[in-house]
């Protein structure tokens, strides 16, 4: 589906099944970036020459386009270098808001980028980090979530779609329940934004973060959405550039949101490229993309069920876009090495989710993740290569 739009896939002939790590880029995004660098590049804000004015307009247009893509207002969109920086921006802001006795609640299934920042902030502030579990099938243990949520909980930080399990989590229920005790909620949408339509206004989350490179856009660009009141309680994260309104020897007055959180020269070409990516996927339609990927995920799961000794991380059938597994007696790195020789790109490791792997009593797994450009032919090639790998490895 839409493979012809992606030059790397056409030029190399590889079977790319690692989109959860980073997605390939369509020609439309590449052409947008190329045109900007060749014809319109100048630093944004304050410049008076034509290209500087044009670049500034394109940058702010990108903010508006990305806001529209997730159902937000432009002034609530902060550009960062990725989802990781977006989470760290919020977490570091909470260092000034938390104290001993306060609680932070996350899930065991979090990416390290949404686990370690809160762990470190808890250590610095004396707050308590609580972690709720998943069930054996990979679904969130909502009873455990409710048991660990309390009137001491100040923020809940959870992923919308697990980068290991591929399960779409019930974040709406979590947001509603957390708000009942006065807690703010941050949603890590780094995986979900690629597969699902997202409306932050419908979710009613306080913060939502994602990266550009997984949404068929450039690297080095991320988004932090925040409700106005949720952003206003955060102090500036970095200093310099357009985040400053006035400076004297004695004090500095900071700019209004969103500029307050965009210190230095912002990633403006990358923002323009990300806006192009949102236009590309919007033209196809996120519901259409999601439907295609759900069917392809089922096709993948049906086809790997034939392998003896294969153990899924999370047995839930409600997977979307990715599957992680191990095969008894064979290290996944050895499998991936043979697959690579066959032109198949997959991912091996803990996928930046060590606590979740420990929960499933393993250190690593092999992950197959899908993008809109994949098709059943890619799955068929993967399955044939996996048969070859297991034969060579003596399974």
Catalytic residue annotation? 352
Q: Which string of b and e fits 143-159 if b means at least 16 CB within 10 Å?
A: ebbeebbeebbbbbbbb
What's the distance, CA 116 to chain centroid? 16
| Rounded (10°) angle between helices 116-125 and 83-94 | 10
Buried b / exposed e over 302-338, threshold 16 CB at 10 Å, is eebeebeebebbbeeeebbbbbbbbbeebebebbbeb
| Nearest by Cα to 245 from 229, 258, 235, 260 | 260
DSSP state of 151: T
DSSP string, 372-388: TT--HHHHHHHHHHHHH
Beta strands in 124-273 (DSSP E): 128-132, 153-159, 184-188, 207-211, 222-226, 244-247, 252-254
**Angle 286-304/268-284 helices, nearest 10 degrees?**
80
> Measuring CA to CA, which residue among 239, 230, 267, 222 is closest to residue 113?
222
Q: How far apart are CA 119 and CA 129, in angstroms?
A: 6
What residues form DSSP beta bridges with 132? Answer: 107
Confirm if 100 and 154 have CB atoms less than 8 A apart: no
Torsion sign over Cα 254, 257, 260, 263? negative
Residues contacting residue 383 through CB under 8 Å, at least 6 positions apart = 303, 304
For tokens 């949102």, the residue is 278
């Amino acid at each position: 589906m839409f493979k012809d739009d992606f030059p790397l896939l056409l030029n190399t002939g590889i079977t790319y099944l690692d989109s959860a790590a980073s997605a390939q880029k369509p020609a439309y995004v590449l052409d947008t970036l190329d045109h900007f660098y060749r014809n319109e590049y100048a630093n944004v804000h304050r410049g008076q020459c034509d290209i500087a004015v044009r670049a500034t307009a394109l940058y702010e247009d990108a903010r508006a386009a990305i806001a529209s893509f997730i159902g937000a207002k432009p002034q609530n969109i902060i550009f960062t270098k990725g989802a990781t920086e977006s989470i760290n921006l919020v977490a570091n802001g909470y260092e000034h808001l938390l104290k001993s006795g306060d609680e932070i609640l996350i899930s065991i299934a979090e990416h390290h980028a949404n686990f370690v920042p809160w762990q470190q902030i808890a250590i610095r502030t004396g707050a308590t980090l609580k972690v709720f579990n998943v069930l054996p099938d990979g679904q969130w243990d909502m009873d455990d979530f409710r048991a660990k949520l309390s009137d001491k909980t100040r923020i809940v930080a959870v992923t919308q779609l697990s980068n290991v399990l591929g399960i779409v989590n019930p974040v709406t229920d979590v947001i509603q329940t957390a708000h009942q005790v006065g807690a703010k909620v941050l949603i890590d949408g780094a995986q979900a934004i690629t597969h699902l339509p997202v409306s932050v206004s419908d979710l009613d989350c306080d913060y939502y973060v994602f990266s550009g490179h997984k949404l068929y856009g450039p690297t080095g660009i991320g988004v932090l959405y925040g409700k106005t009141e949720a952003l206003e309680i955060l102090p500036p994260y970095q200093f310099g550039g357009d985040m400053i309104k006035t400076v004297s020897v004695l004090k500095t007055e900071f700019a209004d949101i969103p500029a307050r959180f965009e210190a230095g020269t912002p990633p403006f070409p990358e923002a323009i490229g990300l806006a192009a990516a949102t236009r590309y996927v919007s033209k196809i339609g996120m519901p259409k993309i999601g439907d295609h990927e759900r069917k392809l995920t089922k096709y993948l799961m049906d086809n790997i069920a034939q392998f003896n000794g294969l153990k899924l991380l999370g047995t839930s059938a409600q997977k979307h876009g990715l599957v992680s597994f191990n095969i008894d007696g064979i290290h996944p790195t050895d499998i991936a090495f043979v697959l690579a020789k066959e032109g198949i790109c997959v991912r091996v490791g803990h996928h930046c989710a060590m606590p979740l792997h420990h929960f499933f009593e393993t250190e690593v797994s092999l992950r197959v993740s899908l993008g809109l450009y994949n098709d059943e032919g890619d799955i068929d090639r993967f399955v044939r290569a996996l048969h070859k790998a297991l034969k060579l490895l003596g399974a």
